[in-house]
Structure 1
Amino acid sequence: MDRAEIVHQNFLTRVGGNDLPEGRAPAGPLTPEAAVGIFRAGCLSRALDRQSRAMQKAGQGFYTIGSSGHEGMAAVAAALRPSDMAFLHYRDAAFQIARADQVPGQTILWDMALSFAASSEDPISGGRHKVLGSKALNIPPQTSTIASHLPKALGVAYSLGMARRRAPEHQALPEDSIVYCSFGDASANHSTAQGAFNTAGWTSYQSVPLPLLFVCEDNGIGISVKTPKGWIAASFAQRPGIKYFHCDGLDMFETYRVAQEAAEYVRTRRKPAFLHIRTVRLYGHAGADVPTTYMPKSEVEADEANDPLLHSVRLLRDAGAMAPDEALRVYVESCDRVVRVADEAVTRPRLQDAKGVMASLVPPKRACRPSNGPDSAAREAAFGSDLRAMSEPQIMSRLINWAMTDLMLEHPEIALMGEDVGRKGGVYGVTQKLQSRFGPDRVIDTLLDEQSILGLGIGMAHNGFLPIPEIQFLAYLHNAEDQLRGEAATLPFFSNGQYTNPMVVRIAGLGYQKGFGGHFHNDNSLAVLRDIPGLILAIPSNGLDAAKMLRECVRLAREEQRVVVFLEPIALYPMRDLHEAGDGGWMCRYPDPSERIALGEVGQHGEGRDLAIVTFGNGTYLSTKAAQQLEREGISTRVIDLRWISPLPEEALRAALEGVKNVLIVDETRHSGGVAEALMAFCAENLDVPFARETAEDSFIATGPAYAVTMPSDVGIASVAKSLVKGGAK
């Protein structure tokens, strides 16, 4: 007999014999009627756990991580409002069930059964994963077991304070809402969680509104590794800026009272709180996990004896709310009802093909107010003397700054955030003057934590803002990239397009910085960004394109709800000259605010037919230099600037290569895993002409005189191009 069946039989036997665990008498504001509702939610959650295991054994279900032992979370849901956005721990089925009781018209059992069955009719994920979540219940879906949802919960909480000052066009939450975020005791140790706790305390310490309720469900173990006794309390009871609350999740009356107190503190003080709830874990981690293989049987049985549903029956009895025999009847009826509903749910259709699975990778478009461009008077006030300078060619960094200014004038829901973006104006001055133009609430100087920076952006987008977070250097992204891969890009996928977090992430990156930083500040690896389904990656090569592309990136986020990364080549920020000192060949005039470069539109310089050089970023600059030399030697050349790296603009590239005799791919990323690999595949599948590639070495980047020796150069490009044209072989 497995542990799930043992717990089930224990409940039937002990409640039938009125053999209930001892505990405190029921006390607090929870009414008998509400207590019965919480118990019913717990029974339904327990029955679903048991059914999930039966479905898996029958080959009809695919997920068995359950909520048994955490049924007390139903009392927490009862203490909150349905308008409080909830990011749930994966053991919070009882919370979702109890919240459904607060919202008319819900069919929570049917909905969750469809999810267990991976049916395409599952109303939250469309059959893509078994997740807790509901648009009607204000619960964005979560799949993470490592608390990676904490940074974005913090972002939503921050947005509530900002919305009181500047309500966004697509505001989703009432101003008096709070944000709820739950997780396990093991996950509380994860670096992502620790960063979120630190950021919350750091923010609250400065009296910035942050109505966020952290809830730690402490069952004392993470799969097989025990949490040291007292660790959570010792770690969180004295955190600066975060109020600590504690309750026993086995006691629904105490849990409701303390959760109500914590929620009231957060709602009225607009400050974060940490609610520490004692729970037990029943059955082990998941269906295949046998807890007695790593825990003494006596400990497993002790947890089973503390079954929260047994405690609930005692509390209901002592409160005069429900007799044990009636509680037993509710439990048995819940189990029977779940079996009947699940038997029907497994007959419902499932996803059958790649098209169906991928249908929600790209979120739906949304209606937005018409964009009429920035107001002329507002532009004059914001730009001042810079307006006169717009008639003269400028470097890329300045044109990006002006483009962001115009965009922020036009769209008041835009907010910038990142390390040093405000008072300093960024390491390279790209965001200079923006904080003085728009205020510190729209140009936010954050603490040094890339996970929190991205989480702030993701969360603010949940509440209708259009965030533009900045990652200071591409090399700094890698400790936080899961916020893009595992959170931002997966949200529309796992919610069937119902939830989105549109944003434009600005990252300064790539190589060719002379004598500065080595691989800490020069990073030419894009693989982690190109590997994220649904994410758009844009890389400009000059200031004119940068301004126009940034406008398109904002449009894509605002109107099409896309997650966009705008990667700015650091070495080209200050670039003035092209072929010789003083020629000003790489500077551009600022384009009219109405001009933009559409997604998938490539750039082309020259009409040569002997050779096409396909490249991007710094490669465009170097290839343009090389093209002059090649033209002098009689090789007519065109340089094609991809601009859009993911997805690759294949249709436009095919048209741009029409009639050329040879193709050279110049890729400043690495030989292995670089952009050129995809482009070589494109050439092999679409062209009937010789092609070759010139890439960076598989190396990190050095500091000092060797800063560029591992990457393509204009001389090297010209040499490879001449060999290709003369040799004519792939």
Structure 2
Amino acid sequence: MDRADIVHEAFQTRVKRGDFPKGAAPNGPLLPTEAVAIFRAQCLSRNLDRTSRKMQAAGQGYYTIGSSGHEGMAAVASALNPDDMAFLHYRDGAFQTRRSAQVPGTTPAWDMLLSFATSTEDPISGGRHKVLGSHSLMIPPQTSTIASHLPKAVGAAYSIGLARRHAPEHKTLKDNSIVICSFGDASSNHSTAQGAINTACWTSFQSVPLPLLFICEDNGIGISTRTPRGWVSANFEHRPGLKYFYANGLDLYDTFCAAKAAVEYVRTRRKPAFLHLSLVRLYGHAGSDMQQTYLAKETFETWESDDPLLHSARLLIDAGVLSTDEVLSIYDDAEAQCTRVAAEAITRPRLKTASEVMGSIVPPKRRCTPTNGPSDEAREAAFGSDMRAMSEPQHMSRLINWALTDLMLEHDEIALMGEDVGQKGGVYGVTQKLSDRFGVDRVIDTLLDEQSILGLAIGMAHNGFIPMPEIQFLAYLHNAEDQLRGEAATLSFFSNGQFTNPMVLRIAGLGYQKGFGGHFHNDNSLGVLRDIPGVIVAVPSHGADAAKMLRECVRLAREEQRVVVFVEPIALYPMRDLHDAKDSGWMQIYPAPDERIALGEVGVTGEGPLAIVTYGNGHYLSQQAAKILKEKGIQTRIIDMRWLSPLPEEAIINAIKGAKKVLVVDECRQSGNVSEAVMTLLSEQSNLPNARLAAEDSFIATGPAYAVTMPSCESIVQAAEKLWGAK
């Protein structure tokens, strides 16, 4: 028999004969009506689990990860306000069913069974996944997360205090709200969890408000690997800045009491707390997991004998709240409801086409109050003596700094965060003076943890802010890329556009730095960014473009709720000259605050028959090469793509009209980067002869050989001559 059926029959049989597991007497502040409501949610969650397994067995449902054994989370839901944002562990069906009863108009059985059936009518994901989540319940969708939701929970909690001082236009959370984040004991060991909890402690230790409740659902096992007894309490009980609470998660009275105390502490003290619940896991890890293949029968039978529903039944009967018949009636009614509703849910339509599946990758646009840009008075106060320098050509890093200043003057909901962005002004001085201009709560010096930096941004975006996190170097992004890939980019997709986390992520990257850092500070690969659905990737090549593109990136985040990555070429930050020493050929005048370069708009220099399609440092080098080629009688047009994802295909094809041949110059590696996509575009939509010059599939060295694996002015000239002379 299926273990779910064994547990089901055991519950009914044991309740009828009064055969309950031993435990403490009912005690604490839980009122009878609330206790019954919790039990109803527990019974519904249990029977939803059983129904989902039957649906999967019949080919009518997909991907079951059950909540059985974790029904104590219904008591936690009762201890919270229904508008407290909840980032949930995937075993928290009981939390969602209980919260549903607290919010009028929701239908938990129908909603969750539609999700199990992957129906397009599923109110959270639109049939894209079996997920917990609900917009009306303030539960952003979570799939099979392994702690990746903890960093953004920290960010959302941090945003509540910041919103009191700088209320964003699209604020979501109330001033007295708290954020909760639940996860398993195995997930608590993940570096992402450790980093997020450490960030919370670090923040709390400095008395910065952070109303966040971590909830560890400790069932003693992660898939097949056992958690050492006592490990969770030993690991988290004495963390600085983190208040520890414990409850027996099988006891709804004890769980409610501890949760109520923890919630009260977090809400009144505005400090993080850690609620440790001891639970059991029933049925195995997921529908396809056969725990009897790796666990002794005695082990999982012991867990089954400690069924939390049996504990709840005993407690409610002993408290005189319910009779035996009433307990069984509530349970049987939940089973009948699930059976009846499932029969209808499986008939509802499912996704059929690629366009339907992809319909929510790009978030919906939202209405924003029009702005007229920063006032002259505000600019003069912020820029000070820099105003006089604006009439003179400047290098890229300074123009980005000024663009950030104007944007932060115009939009109070913009906040910067990252290592060294505040007092130091960034590794390359790009954010200098911004902390003085806007304060430490809008220019946030974070600890050294890229996962926490991105999580802070994602969480703040949940509450209406436009975060602009900075990653110091492109190679450092790989420590935290799942925060983009698995969290930020998927939120709109899995919530059918109901939840969004717009942001503009700034990254110093690409190659050509002379004599500094090698690969770790010169990472010439954008493949990790370009293959994330829905993410926009922008790369400017000089200061004026950088300022105008950055403004468009903020508009895309603010009005279109997009996740945008703005990669700033490190080697071009200080670049002044183009052809000769002190010619100032790469310096630019700061463009007026209302000037933007639209998404997909490419830059074109020249009208020659040889088109060079490039970006970033490649644009700079191609301009140098163009002068030499002109002297050799080869006229060029240089097309700066600017926007690398999505690739501006139409603009590129239009820009090469009238050309006779096309050379693609890519400073990134040959494999998995931009030039492959451009060459594919040319083969599909153009019959012009073409060639490609890209970097070697190599890491970058330090010292004199820093650029030998990448295109140079000389190699561009050679490639152009070869292509032009080819028949």
- Range of TM-score over shorter length: over 0.9
Q: In structure 2, how many angstroms separate the alpha carbons of the residues matched to 1:368 and 1:218?
A: 43
Aligned to 2:651: 652
Q: In structure 2, how many angstroms separate the alpha carbons of the residues matched to 1:414 and 1:165?
A: 13
Deviation per CA, 1:363-409, whole angstroms, max 9, x where unpaired? 00000010201111000000011011000000000000000000000
The DSSP-based 3-state class of the residue aligned with 1:101 is helix
Quote the offset at 1:145 in angstroms.
Answer: 2.8
Letter in 2 for 1:362: V
Quote the offset at 1:16 in angstroms.
Answer: 1.2
1:520 maps onto 2:524 in alignment: no
The DSSP-based 3-state class of the residue aligned with 1:315 is helix
Number of aligned residue pairs: 727
Q: In structure 2, how many angstroms separate the alpha carbons of the residues matched to 1:239 and 1:531?
A: 39
Task: Write the mapping of 1:105-504 to structure 2, written as runs, cut at 5 A.
Answer: 105-504=105-504
Q: In structure 1, how many angstroms separate the alpha carbons of the residues matched to 2:264 and 2:453?
A: 28
Task: Write the mapping of 1:506-545 to structure 2, written as runs, cut at 5 A.
Answer: 506-545=506-545
Deviation per CA, 1:464-488, whole angstroms, max 9, x where unpaired? 1110000000000001000000000
Aligned to 1:3: 3
Task: Write the mapping of 1:599-618 to structure 2, written as runs, cut at 5 A.
Answer: 599-609=599-609, 611-618=610-617
Q: Which runs of 5+ in 1 are unaligned?
A: none
The DSSP-based 3-state class of the residue aligned with 1:638 is strand
Deviation per CA, 1:559-608, whole angstroms, max 9, x where unpaired? 00000000000000000000110110000000000000000000001111
Aligned to 1:700: 699
Q: In structure 2, how many angstroms separate the alpha carbons of the residues matched to 1:254 and 1:292?
A: 31
Aligned to 1:633: 632
Q: In structure 2, how many angstroms separate the alpha carbons of the residues matched to 1:94 and 1:507?
A: 41
Q: Percent identity?
A: 72
Q: In structure 2, how many angstroms separate the alpha carbons of the residues matched to 1:367 and 1:335?
A: 44
The DSSP-based 3-state class of the residue aligned with 2:277 is strand
The DSSP-based 3-state class of the residue aligned with 1:338 is helix
The DSSP-based 3-state class of the residue aligned with 1:90 is coil
Quote the offset at 1:625 in angstroms.
Answer: 0.4
1:723 maps onto 2:722 in alignment: yes
Q: In structure 1, how many angstroms separate the alpha carbons of the residues matched to 2:596 and 2:116?
A: 45
Letter in 2 for 1:83: D
Quote the offset at 1:166 in angstroms.
Answer: 1.2
Letter in 2 for 1:716: S
Aligned to 1:82: 82
Deviation per CA, 1:614-639, whole angstroms, max 9, x where unpaired? 00000000001001111111111010
Q: In structure 2, how many angstroms separate the alpha carbons of the residues matched to 1:292 and 1:648?
A: 50
Letter in 1 for 2:592: D
Q: Normalising to structure 2: TM-score of the pair?
A: 1.00
Quote the offset at 1:86 in angstroms.
Answer: 0.2
The DSSP-based 3-state class of the residue aligned with 1:703 is coil
Deviation per CA, 1:274-305, whole angstroms, max 9, x where unpaired? 00001100000111111121111111111000
Letter in 2 for 1:667: D
The DSSP-based 3-state class of the residue aligned with 1:421 is coil
Letter in 2 for 1:31: L
Aligned to 1:710: 709
Q: In structure 1, how many angstroms separate the alpha carbons of the residues matched to 2:442 and 2:105?
A: 39
The DSSP-based 3-state class of the residue aligned with 1:468 is strand
Quote the offset at 1:83 in angstroms.
Answer: 1.2
Quote the offset at 1:336 in angstroms.
Answer: 1.2
Q: In structure 1, how many angstroms separate the alpha carbons of the residues matched to 2:631 and 2:129?
A: 59
Letter in 2 for 1:479: N
Letter in 2 for 1:252: L
Letter in 2 for 1:140: P
Q: In structure 2, how many angstroms separate the alpha carbons of the residues matched to 1:49 and 1:717?
A: 62
Aligned to 2:577: 577
Q: In structure 1, how many angstroms separate the alpha carbons of the residues matched to 2:362 and 2:669?
A: 28
Q: In structure 2, how many angstroms separate the alpha carbons of the residues matched to 1:375 and 1:415?
A: 19
The DSSP-based 3-state class of the residue aligned with 2:339 is helix
Q: In structure 1, how many angstroms separate the alpha carbons of the residues matched to 2:13 and 2:372?
A: 71
Quote the offset at 1:326 in angstroms.
Answer: 1.2
Deviation per CA, 1:426-464, whole angstroms, max 9, x where unpaired? 000000000000000000000000000000000000001
Q: In structure 2, how many angstroms separate the alpha carbons of the residues matched to 1:205 and 1:530?
A: 38
The DSSP-based 3-state class of the residue aligned with 2:505 is strand
Aligned to 2:586: 586
Letter in 2 for 1:68: S
Q: In structure 1, how many angstroms separate the alpha carbons of the residues matched to 2:293 and 2:355?
A: 42
Stretch of structure 1 that moved more, 321-330 or 712-721: 321-330
Q: In structure 1, how many angstroms separate the alpha carbons of the residues matched to 2:720 and 2:144?
A: 48
Q: In structure 1, how many angstroms separate the alpha carbons of the residues matched to 2:143 and 2:713?
A: 47
Letter in 2 for 1:113: L
Q: In structure 1, how many angstroms separate the alpha carbons of the residues matched to 2:219 and 2:518?
A: 46
Runs (4+) off by over 2 Å: none
Quote the offset at 1:17 in angstroms.
Answer: 1.0
The DSSP-based 3-state class of the residue aligned with 2:367 is coil
Aligned to 2:551: 551
Q: In structure 1, how many angstroms separate the alpha carbons of the residues matched to 2:509 and 2:144?
A: 29
Q: In structure 2, how many angstroms separate the alpha carbons of the residues matched to 1:374 and 1:61?
A: 54
Letter in 2 for 1:361: I
The DSSP-based 3-state class of the residue aligned with 2:597 is coil
Deviation per CA, 1:635-677, whole angstroms, max 9, x where unpaired? 1101000000000000111110001000000000001112111
Q: In structure 1, how many angstroms separate the alpha carbons of the residues matched to 2:324 and 2:698?
A: 69
Q: In structure 1, how many angstroms separate the alpha carbons of the residues matched to 2:216 and 2:631?
A: 69
The DSSP-based 3-state class of the residue aligned with 1:295 is coil
Q: In structure 2, how many angstroms separate the alpha carbons of the residues matched to 1:650 and 1:296?
A: 59
Q: Which runs of 5+ in 2 are unaligned?
A: none
Q: In structure 2, how many angstroms separate the alpha carbons of the residues matched to 1:294 and 1:365?
A: 49
The DSSP-based 3-state class of the residue aligned with 1:704 is coil
Deviation per CA, 1:82-132, whole angstroms, max 9, x where unpaired? 110000000000000000111111111110110000000000000000100
Q: In structure 2, how many angstroms separate the alpha carbons of the residues matched to 1:433 and 1:326?
A: 67
Q: In structure 2, how many angstroms separate the alpha carbons of the residues matched to 1:468 and 1:145?
A: 24
Deviation per CA, 1:12-53, whole angstroms, max 9, x where unpaired? 110111111111100011011111110110000010100111
Task: Write the mapping of 1:617-628 to structure 2, written as runs, cut at 5 A.
Answer: 617-628=616-627
Aligned to 2:663: 664
The RMSD of aligned alpha carbons is 0.6
Stretch of structure 1 that moved more, 450-459 or 326-335: 326-335
The DSSP-based 3-state class of the residue aligned with 1:487 is helix
Letter in 1 for 2:219: N
Letter in 1 for 2:639: I
Q: Normalising to structure 1: TM-score of the pair?
A: 0.99
